[in-house]
């Protein structure tokens, strides 16, 4: 008879029971995870280090070679690790090796893309690379185009230097400016085409925002359209851009946010008809701002607005916002509108009528429909008599921004605002870009009380006050700081706007400038100083861009 004896194999400690087997399995998994973390630590050490030439070769092997096990790391782990990096660091890391590049452009890592571009040929290759990688899947895309500078002068030395003004110097300078503008607009069209082509088939796009203020505002108007006919004489590129924009709208399946501001002739009065009814019914934000639309054309009609029943935020040219639109927004089938941004431009006022704008009863109906409705108004070079027509008492005005190149705001307008909107007003910006800084207008002239001081006294929610190009007396500035105190979070007044009484200047024992800084700082409860360099503040130098960005944050803050 044969006997078979089984010799038990040695087991790890604690494996004689099911609980012990589970502990062993957990121990093995922890050991494997520890090995992966050690490999990862070596990778990151090689990435952070900045060794010499020989060490760089070893670092490269640690990143991409088999010795450190970079190739053995699963793609899911790499994607998860680099999800903690900011976007610029991800782009740098994508240059390490092809495997990392594939992982770092995984759609989950780029749900949103925000790009601010100088309109320069040097930007085009980088934009093409980024849009080729991300354009087909990105969910939120925000692109801002802006010229490198406003091209408002002859430039530095060599730009016509030495030419006698009496013998054609002005013609030489004008020719150089024309050549530079032609190059800017040509590059601008190419960059816009690059963006639109890359997202034409993106059906995941939920938020799409374009800003393109590259025009120079002068007394004779915008220069962009003048040179646009030279860059694109037959209009083929502009037509291609318009068709691509409409194709993007027609292909969209999840779009909820559409914003287009100051883009040259991209949006047309027929663009919104490309949106399907299902998308229009779910749209939550719509912003169409363009003061270059000729004649009485509008970018959205009342009939189109009826489709946007779920709209919570709207931004339009004021002349396009009619009484009929206000009536549509108060219908029972529309959700309550919560944010309304309106651009009042002198170009629009000249070509369009203010007769169709909402009256005070329409504003009351809108406020009843939505008690949380707030309004943001940006006024470019609007006459006082037109502003008196626009500023209806029942507008729930929270922010107002005046920007003037020719027409100044009167003290009566500031006084009217402080009386009518004392319960809502939080932001007040007053900008006058005059050439002669020796003659700033004085709002308190022939008045017992300064309108700005009354504004600070009446508007108890005022948190931002910015002034340039209007005379602000030092004692009034101190009064404003004391009235609002720490509730006034931002007080920006340019140095050239501040003036002193003769009595303050005559006092030999007190430095008026030092005393002003000290008293205003004490009133606000924080250190304060006048704005010395106006170029450092976009609210003064780039009003269009500032308004567009503020409008975006104003609409997102619902």
- pLDDT for 3: 40
Per the CB < 8 A criterion, the answer to whether 483 and 456 are in contact is yes
Rg of the chain in Å (alpha carbons): 31
Give Cα 238 to chain centroid, integer Å.
24
Write out the H or E segment, with its range, that includes residue 61.
helix 53-64
> DSSP string covering 112-166, please?
EEEEEEESSGGGHHHHHHHHHHHTTT-SEEEEEEE-SS---S--STTSSTT--GG
Q: Which of 414, 423, 415 is nearest to 394 (CA)?
A: 423
Per the CB < 8 A criterion, the answer to whether 250 and 205 are in contact is no
d(CA 231, CA 183): 8
Classify residue 273 as exposed, middle or buried by CB count within 10 Å of its CB (0-12, 13-18, 19+).
Answer: middle
Classify residue 420 as exposed, middle or buried by CB count within 10 Å of its CB (0-12, 13-18, 19+).
Answer: middle
d(CA 290, CA 550): 17
Query: 3-state DSSP helix/strand/coil percent for the chain, to nearest 5?
Result: 45, 15, 40
HSE toward the beta carbon, residue 32, CA cutoff 13 A: 8
β-partners of residue 280 are: none
Q: Tell me the CATH number for domain 309-557.
A: 3.80.10.10
CA distances from 70 to 46, 127, 419 (A): 11, 29, 68
- pLDDT for 5: 41
Q: Tell me the CATH number for domain 74-109.
A: 1.20.1280
Residue indicated by tokens 């040179």: 227
Residues 6+ apart with CB under 8 A from 499: 471, 472, 473, 474
Domain residue ranges of the chain, discontinuous segments joined by +: 74-109, 309-557
Structure tokens belonging to residue 112: 């949103």
pLDDT per residue of the chain (558 residues) written in tens, 0 to 9:
444 444 444 454 444 566 677 777 777 777 777 776 676 666 556 555 544 444 444 444 344 444 455 556 788 888 888 888 888 888 888 777 887 888 888 888 888 889 888 888 888 898 998 898 888 899 999 999 876 544 444 333 333 333 444 445 556 555 666 777 788 888 889 999 999 999 999 999 999 999 987 654 433 345 566 677 788 888 899 999 999 999 999 999 999 999 998 887 788 889 999 999 999 999 999 999 875 655 567 889 999 999 999 999 999 999 899 999 999 999 999 999 999 999 998 888 888 888 889 999 999 999 999 999 999 999 988 988 999 999 999 999 999 999 988 888 999 999 999 999 999 999 999 998 866 656 788 888 766 789 999 999 999 999 999 999 899 999 999 999 999 999 999 999 999 899 988 776 666 677 888 999 999 999 999 999 999 888 777 788 888 888 999 999 999 877
d(CA 94, CA 100): 6
β-partners of residue 379 are: 344, 402
CA distances from 119 to 133, 215, 318, 484, 500 (A): 21, 12, 29, 42, 43
Residues 6+ apart with CB under 8 A from 461: 423, 424, 425, 426, 487
Structure tokens belonging to residue 336: 């309550």
Strand order in the sheet with 374-380: 112-118, 140-146, 207-212, 257-261, 285-289, 313-317, 339-345, 374-380, 397-404, 427-432, 464-468, 490-493
Residue indicated by tokens 């509730």: 487
């Amino acid at each position: 008879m044969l006997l078979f004896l089984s010799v038990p194999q040695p087991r790890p400690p604690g494996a004689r029971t099911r609980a012990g087997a589970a502990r062993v399995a957990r121990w093995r998994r922890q050991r494997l995870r520890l090995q992966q973390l050690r490999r990862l630590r070596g990778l990151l050490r090689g990435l952070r280090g900045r060794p010499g030439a020989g060490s760089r070769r070893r670092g490269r092997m640690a990143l991409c070679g088999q010795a450190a096990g970079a190739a053995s790391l699963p793609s899911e782990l790499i994607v998860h690790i680099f999800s903690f990096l900011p976007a610029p660091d991800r782009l740098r890391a994508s240059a390490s090796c092809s495997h990392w590049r594939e992982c770092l452009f995984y759609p989950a890592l780029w749900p949103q893309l925000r790009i601010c571009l100088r309109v320069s040929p040097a930007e085009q290759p980088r934009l093409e690379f980024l849009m080729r990688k991300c354009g087909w899947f990105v969910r939120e895309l925000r692109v801002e185009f802006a010229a490198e500078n406003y091209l408002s002068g002859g430039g530095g030395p060599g730009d016509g230097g030495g030419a006698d003004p009496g013998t054609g110097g002005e013609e030489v300078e004008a020719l150089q400016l024309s050549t530079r503008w032609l190059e800017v607009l040509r590059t601008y069209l190419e960059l816009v085409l690059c963006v639109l082509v890359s997202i034409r088939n993106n059906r995941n796009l939920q938020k799409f925002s374009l800003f393109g203020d590259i025009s120079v505002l002068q007394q004779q108007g915008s220069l962009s359209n003048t040179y646009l006919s030279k860059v694109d004489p037959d209009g083929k590129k502009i037509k291609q851009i318009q068709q691509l924009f409409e194709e993007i709208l027609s292909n969209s399946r999840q779009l909820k946010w559409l914003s287009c501001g100051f883009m040259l002739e991209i949006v047309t009065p027929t663009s919104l008809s490309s949106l399907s009814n299902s998308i229009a019914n779910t749209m939550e934000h719509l912003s169409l701002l363009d003061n270059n639309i000729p004649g009485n054309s509008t970018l959205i009609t009342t009939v189109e607005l009826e489709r946007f029943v779920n709209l919570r935020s709207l931004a339009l040219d004021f002349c396009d916002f009619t009484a009929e639109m206000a009536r549509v927004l108060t219908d029972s089938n529309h959700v309550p509108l919560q944010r309304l941004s309106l651009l009042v431009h002198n170009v629009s006022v000249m070509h369009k009528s203010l007769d169709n704008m909402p009256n005070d009863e329409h504003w009351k109906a809108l406020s009843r429909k939505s008690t949380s409705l707030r309004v943001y108004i940006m006024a470019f070079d609007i006459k006082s008599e037109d502003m008196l027509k626009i500023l209806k008492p029942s507008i729930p005005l929270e922010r107002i921004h005046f920007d003037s190149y020719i027409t100044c705001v009167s003290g009566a307008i500031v006084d009217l605002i402080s009386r009518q909107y004392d319960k809502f007003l939080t932001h007040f910006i007053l900008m006058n870009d005059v050439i002669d800084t020796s003659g700033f207008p004085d709002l308190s002239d022939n008045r017992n009380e300064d309108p700005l001081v009354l504004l600070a006294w009446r508007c108890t929610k005022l948190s931002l006050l910015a002034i340039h190009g209007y005379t602000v007396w030092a004692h009034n500035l101190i009064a404003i700081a004391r009235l609002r105190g720490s509730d006034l979070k931002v007080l920006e007044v340019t140095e050239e706007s501040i003036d002193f009484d003769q009595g303050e200047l005559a006092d030999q024992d007190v430095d008026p400038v030092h005393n002003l800084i000290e008293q205003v700082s004490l009133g606000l409860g924080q250190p304060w100083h006048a704005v010395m360099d106006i170029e450092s503040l976009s609210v003064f130098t780039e009003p269009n861009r500032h308004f567009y960005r503020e409008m975006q944050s104003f609409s997102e803050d619902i």
